Structure 1
Amino acid sequence: MARRNQHTKDEIQQLSLQAVEALLYEHNHEAISTRMVAKAIGYTVGTLYTVFKHQADMLLHVNARTMDRMFLHCQRGISDSNTAEHNLTLMALSYHQFALQEPNHWNLVFSLRLPENEPLPQWQQANIDRIFHLLEYELARLSPETSPQSIQKNARILWSGVHGMTTLSLNNKLFIEGITDVETLLTNLVHQLVLTWSGA
């Protein structure tokens, strides 16, 4: 075991998060214990609880890092010189691609449950809002006269469709015979919603 004074608390936190991220490439989050993480970084389980309130807190910090990567991934290729539909399609495809590349990390974002009556921290809500703002910006470009409230609603409708299709495809539950190209389905989904919202 490493000596407790070998690293600062911030360093122990970062080592722990990196260890969880590495373990997620081999295991789903339900198989990862604090004991596994402590062993991976050379500290005791008790040391982990000096930098995290509980295991869910540790995993929530992992989710924040995952969402940072997801945000950057979904930004790739986005430009105001593109049409709003093109950018929305790129984001949908990037979201699906990210889930394929990091399925356990991606799944943890949506599977983690905090202890009862413990609110989501503002910093994590900000991470969620930042991703939705990408969609909302493009939807506002698509239909400038639409109210902010409707833009927010439409962003969540779009995300729900993309997320649902991504989830089903990762679990082989789309049940559409002869169609294996999920990217085509996602592109069609965005196109149909854009037609509806643009009034075309």
Structure 2
Amino acid sequence: MATTERRAKLKERLIEAATDRIRADGLSSLRARDITTDAGCSLGALYNVFADIDDVVVHVNSQTLQHLRGVVHKAGHDASSPREQLVALAIGYLHFARSEPALWMSLFEHRMPAGVPVPQWHLDEHAALLEQIAEPLAALHPELEQAHLLRRARTLFSAVHGVVLMGLGDWFVGPGASAVEDELRLIVNAMISGLAADSTMRA
């Protein structure tokens, strides 16, 4: 087996091992030695293919984002209107968070060490998730400039994420796990209606 292929397979095993560890125990419990033990390699081997454990987590989060985007895309694919698509995207996001809670939380819990930037390719993956929201928003409001459109997409995502986080976390100030889906429908529709009213007033 060629060296390049061996490195690729080792990298894949380490990402898989880290994914399983995060899924089972959460990001805060992740340890390099546990990852290498599960992957069947030495601790030094990890640093031959990754810069450090933060680099491993970035690659795990990259795969999680790909999975999340796929789930969200499928949820909104058959929607009959942009409004219904945005609601469906929110529900798809909820379903993903319910099915992979630890991996979902890792997307927001992980922080790079001080002075170390997040790789641009990974930032682009996060931006791609926002673009899934921006597309139906643009269909509803083609008059919005790109900068305003992206800001609205971020705001809508933040609202949805907050409801999901507080609901699934069973915070006493949250809506409660059983009510999350209904509240998501309410808040997405309310924000869309508010945006429409704002556009009318500005016209």
TM norm structure 2: 0.90
User: Which residue, 109, 127, 131 being the options, matches 1:133?
Assistant: 131
Aligned-residue CA RMSD in angstroms?
1.9
Mapping of residues 39-188 of structure 1, within 5 Å: 39-79=37-77, 82-173=80-171, 175=173, 180-188=178-186
Classify 1:23/1:140 alpha carbon distance in 2 versus 1 (closer, same or farther; 3 Å).
same
Identity %: 24
User: Aligned equivalents of 2:160 and 2:9: distance in 1?
Assistant: 37
Conserved in 2, the CA contact under 8 Å of 1:38 and 1:44? yes
User: Aligned equivalents of 1:81 and 1:100: distance in 2?
Assistant: 22
Mapping of residues 2-13 of structure 1, within 5 Å: 8-13=6-11
Structure 2 SS opposite 1:99: helix
User: Aligned equivalents of 2:159 and 2:178: distance in 1?
Assistant: 17
The answer for the alignment partner of 1:197 in structure 2 is: 195
The offset of 1:83, in angstroms, is 1.0
The answer for the alignment partner of 2:29 in structure 1 is: 31
Amino acid at match of 1:103: P
Gaps of 5+ in 1: none
Conserved in 2, the CA contact under 8 Å of 1:88 and 1:135? yes
Which structure features the higher share of helix residues?
A: 2
Conserved in 1, the CA contact under 8 Å of 2:22 and 2:29? no
Amino acid at match of 1:171: G
Structure 1 SS opposite 2:25: coil
Conserved in 1, the CA contact under 8 Å of 2:17 and 2:35? yes
Between the two proteins, the alignment pairs up a number of residues equal to 195
Higher RCO (Cα < 8 Å, 6 or more apart): 1
The offset of 1:179, in angstroms, is 8.1
User: Aligned equivalents of 1:56 and 1:177: distance in 2?
Assistant: 34
Amino acid at match of 2:101: P
Amino acid at match of 1:113: R
Classify 1:150/1:174 alpha carbon distance in 2 versus 1 (closer, same or farther; 3 Å).
farther
